[in-house]
């Protein structure tokens, strides 16, 4: 047999593997810690955000590349990539937070409705988009994203928080 048993050594967050192929050592390592999503980094306070709601399990903040003014992301603090991998209680809680925020967003950013979208391909952390909309076109993610200054985003977030 050309392969000898694999030997491993762990150094902190890394594991070094040594496999022998015909007596020649082949080394490789694996990072045992996956990098936190940008949303986890926001939750942990490493990256600033314009927060509109927070409790012990969920956070909601303004999208920095919004489709419309008031475009809000609601995320569970537990990092789970795919919404349907959430446990039932977390999924239910996520949608209840979205339901709680929708009227506050609608008061802060007058619109016909608050659209709800879950896509999940852009960031590997479950999130719900709450988008103030006047028409179906406002929910088209291929539309150009709007640009707001930090002061404008702060003012929008403040108006939403005032209505929660």
Q: What is the pLDDT of residues 97-132, one digit of tens each?
A: 999 999 999 999 999 999 999 998 889 999 999 999
Give the DSSP H or E segment for 160: helix 150-163
Per-residue model confidence (pLDDT) at position 3: 47
Four-residue CA torsion sign, 145, 146, 149, 151: negative
Q: For 30-47, what is the mean pLDDT? A: 80
Least confident of 11-15, 34-38, 42-46, 135-139: 11-15
The half-sphere exposure of 116 on its side-chain side, counting CA atoms within 13 A, is: 12
Give 113-118's long-range contacts (Cβ < 8 A, gap of 24+). 115/139, 117/141, 118/83
Tell me the catalytic residues: 127
As a whole number, the mean pLDDT across the chain is 88
Domains of the chain from N-terminus onward? 1-33 (no CATH), 38-163 (3.30.428.10)
Q: Which residue has the tokens 């593997």?
A: 17
pLDDT band for position 77 (cuts 50, 70, 90): very high
Per-residue model confidence (pLDDT) at position 36: 83
Q: For 31-36, what is the mean pLDDT? A: 58
Are the C-beta atoms of residues 62 and 153 closer than 8 Å to each other?
yes
Give the DSSP H or E segment for 5: strand 3-11
pLDDT digits (tens, 9 = 90+) for 10-33: 554 455 555 666 666 665 555 544
């Amino acid at each position: 047999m050309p392969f000898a048993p694999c030997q491993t050594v762990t150094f902190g967050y890394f594991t070094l593997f040594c496999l022998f192929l015909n007596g020649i050592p082949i080394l490789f390592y694996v990072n045992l810690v996956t990098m936190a999503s940008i949303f986890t980094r926001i939750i942990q306070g490493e990256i600033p955000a314009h927060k509109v709601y927070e409790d012990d399990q969920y956070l909601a903040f303004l999208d920095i590349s919004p489709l419309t003014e008031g475009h809000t992301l609601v995320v569970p603090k537990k990092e789970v990539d795919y919404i349907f991998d959430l446990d039932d209680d977390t999924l239910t809680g996520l949608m209840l937070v979205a339901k709680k925020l929708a009227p506050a967003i609608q008061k802060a950013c007058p619109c016909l409705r608050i659209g709800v979208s879950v896509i999940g391909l852009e960031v590997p952390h479950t999130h719900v988009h709450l988008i103030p909309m006047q028409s179906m076109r406002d929910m088209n993610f291929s539309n150009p994203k709007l640009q707001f200054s930090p002061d404008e985003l702060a003012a929008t977030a403040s108006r939403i928080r005032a209505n929660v």
